[in-house]
Every structure is written in structure tokens, then in C-alpha cells.
Chain A
Amino acid sequence: AQSVSQHNHHVILSEAASLELGCNYSYGGTVNLFWYVQYPGQHLQLLLKYFSGDPLVKGIKGFEAEFIKSKFSFNLRKPSVQWSDTAEYFCAVMPYSGAGSYQLTFGKGTKLSVIP
């Protein structure tokens, strides 16, 4: 079974600071990788996804993530955060194929607080 580890429980940044949220996964095969965001009082939204190809993927709202296969990592980045980025961020992994390819496993989440 796969597992996901998010290193930071709570990150506090000032506006315009750069953001990097760590995510590592454990799985013996090929995976699809995702970042989801949950704004206060809102539902989970897909931020970006990686299936194959260029390991640097761009998502919505200026976010990007880099897949480093050798490190089993999929870190989320944003050059300059805004107050509106305050939210909970979840990294998630899913086996690429087979019966497990329906099973999305989430990390415990990182709460981002951006101070104006």
C-alpha cells in the first residue's frame, strides 16, 4: 500500500514570501501524484497533477510542483504567496494502474497561514 508524508503541519508566511511544501511518498511502483487545496469553508480543489512527462508541472493560481523520482518527492512551490493562499494543502498519491488506481491516499495536510 502507498503512503504519503507531508513534513510541515503548519507553515506561516508573510505575503510575497516564497513557498515550498514538502511531500514524500512510499510505493513500490509507478504513481500519479496530486496536490489538492482546501480553502476555509470550501471543498477540496485540484491544484495540480502529475502523470508522466515533464517532472515540473504547473497548476492553477501560480502553483507548481516538481516530481523527483529518485527522492520519491513531489514538492509544491509558489514564488510569491498572497493572503488568499491561506488554506490547507494536501499531497496525494495513486497507483498508476491496476485495482489500486482508484485508491487516492492523502498526506495529513499542511496548513498555510499567510500574514498580510
Chain B
Amino acid sequence: DTEVTQTPKHLVMGMTNKKSLKCEQHMGHRAMYWYKQKAKKPPELMFVYSYEKLSINESVPSRFSPECPNSSLLNLHLHALQPEDSALYLCASSQEGGSAQYFGPGTRLTVL
């Protein structure tokens, strides 16, 4: 089973809202990732959690706040987003660093 699930599938929010994206995997992977993908562009890495600790933050604005409650779950808390943050947010997981990453279906986020 190489399934990564993400909820919600679609999210529309205003610039003053607070919302969260959720990601779950049951493959026993110890690394989890958040990516941002704009239309017709490749995914761009935002955050990496390794063994439930934040190991990489690719200079992402503080209005994005990741959280890893346990080894199977990854959240992305959103607050005071801008319209340019509208994108597909992808979660991925891998066994460990250097291993193949498996992607979820993504959350299509629209910021009004």
C-alpha cells in the first residue's frame, strides 16, 4: 500500500480565516513533506519532517505553520493567507531520506 491521503480535497478561504490541511500515511514512513504546486509548474518543497521533527523549512512565510502530531500524521495550519498562496498543496512521505517519495492527491486551495 503506497497511499497517502489528504483532506480536504478543496478549500476556499478568505484572507482572515484560519484553516488546516491534513495528511495521513500508514506505510510506516519516517519522513513527511509538504509541497506547493502552482498550475503548470513542478512541486516546490516547503517543509520536511524527519522522525517527527522539522528538519527543513524552505524559507516559507510564517502564515504557513506545519505540525507533525505523530509519525502517521502531518498538518499544515494556514492563517492570514494571500491570494497568491492559491495552489495545490501536496503531502508526501518516504521511508527515510534518500528514499522514493510517495505523494497524496493534494488539497486545491483558493484564497479569496
Whether the pair B105, A43 counts as a contact (CB closer than 8 A) is yes
CA distance A109 to B48 in the complex (A): 22
User: For window 27-81 of chain B, which residues contact chain A by CB distance below 8 Å?
Assistant: 31, 33, 40-43, 45, 48, 50, 55-56
**Count class of interface residues, chain A:** 20 to 34
**Count class of interface residues, chain B:** 20 to 34
CA distance A101 to B43 in the complex (A): 17
The chain B residue with its CB closest to the CB of A51 is B98
Q: Is the interface of A mostly helix, strand, loop or mixed?
A: mixed
CA distance A51 to B98 in the complex (A): 9
A49, A105, A106, A108: most-surrounded residue (chain B CB, <10 A): A106
Residues of B within 8 A of A67 (CB): none
Residues of A within 8 A of B (CB): 32, 34, 36, 42-46, 49, 51, 90, 94-97, 99, 101-109
